């Protein structure tokens, strides 16, 4: 009886050890963009991006409950291709980069949808944390010509900047805001599997 129990435990251990493991991926900044767009005077959009960021993705090939993403963005790296505007965005009127140097996102869970996935997590800006949902497509994993495994992610969501105490604007004669309240966040990220 004891021998059967030992054999059973050994078989169980070997079975679990053969299951796919969770893999750690790190963002490839050279092939990734964290961008945004916001309405300007109602009639057009201003686009921008952040140039300094880091992110990790814990990925499991068959179990999305084990997926986990964390991202950190350097607020002062905001770039809309206009120095005067970028300096204003770094000021206390907007991101207050000196006081709040980082924007953070930490995932809480993932859901499968008909055409991709949704990540639900906490986005922290200017000292305020709010839960957001971001639909995204996942491509890969694939193996590049140098033997590295890569995953691509494309996601988009909208946030109300007022929720994060980013409230500066001016009101036009027609009642519209010079800087729109709703900001579209666009993520195009490429992750590379970390060395084991």
Residue 147 lies in a domain: yes
Q: Which structural domain range is residue 176 located in?
A: 20-193
68, two tokens: 């986990």
What is the per-residue pLDDT across 48-94, written as a single tens digit (0 to 9) for each?
Answer: 999 999 999 999 999 999 999 999 999 999 999 999 999 999 999 99
Among the listed residues 47, 71, 56, 6, the one whose alpha carbon sits nearest the alpha carbon of residue 191: 56
CA atoms within 13 A on the CB side of 176: 11
Structural domains counted in the chain = 1
Confidence check: pLDDT of 168 > 80: no
At 58 the pLDDT is 98
Burial of 94 (0-12, 13-18, 19+ CB in 10 A): buried
**Of residues 119 and 45, more confidently modeled:** 119
Least confident interval from 6-15, 30-39, 49-58:
6-15
At 24 the pLDDT is: 97
- What pLDDT shows up at residue 41? 58
**Tell me, what's the pLDDT at 95?**
96
Does residue 84 fall inside a structural domain? yes
- For residue 100, is it within any domain? yes
Residue 26 lies in a domain: yes
Write down the pTM of the prediction: 0.85
139: domain CATH number is 2.40.128.110
Note whether residue 5 is domain-resident: no
Is residue 2 domain-resident? no
Q: Does residue 161 carry a pLDDT above 90? A: yes
Could you tell me if residue 7 is inside a domain? no
- Is 140 among the domain residues? yes
Q: Is the pLDDT of residue 6 over 60?
A: no
């Amino acid at each position: 009886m004891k021998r059967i129990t030992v054999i059973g435990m050994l078989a169980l251990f070997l079975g679990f050890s053969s299951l796919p493991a969770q893999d750690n991926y790190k963002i490839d900044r050279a092939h990734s963009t964290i961008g945004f767009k916001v309405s300007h005077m109602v009639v057009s959009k201003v686009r921008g991006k952040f140039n300094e960021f880091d992110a990790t993705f814990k990925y499991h090939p068959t179990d999305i409950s084990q997926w986990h993403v964390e991202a950190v963005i350097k607020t002062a790296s905001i770039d809309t291709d206009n120095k005067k505007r970028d300096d204003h965005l770094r000021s206390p009127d907007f991101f207050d980069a000196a006081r709040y140097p980082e924007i953070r996102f930490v995932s809480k869970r993932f859901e499968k949808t008909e055409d991709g996935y949704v990540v639900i997590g906490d986005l922290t800006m200017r000292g305020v944390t709010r839960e957001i949902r971001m639909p995204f497509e996942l491509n890969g994993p694939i193996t590049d010509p140098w033997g590295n495994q890569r995953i691509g992610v494309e996601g988009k969501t909208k946030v109300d900047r007022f929720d994060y105490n980013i409230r500066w604007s001016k009101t036009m004669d027609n009642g519209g805001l010079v800087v729109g309240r709703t900001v579209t966040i666009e993520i195009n990220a490429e992750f590379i599997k970390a060395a084991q």
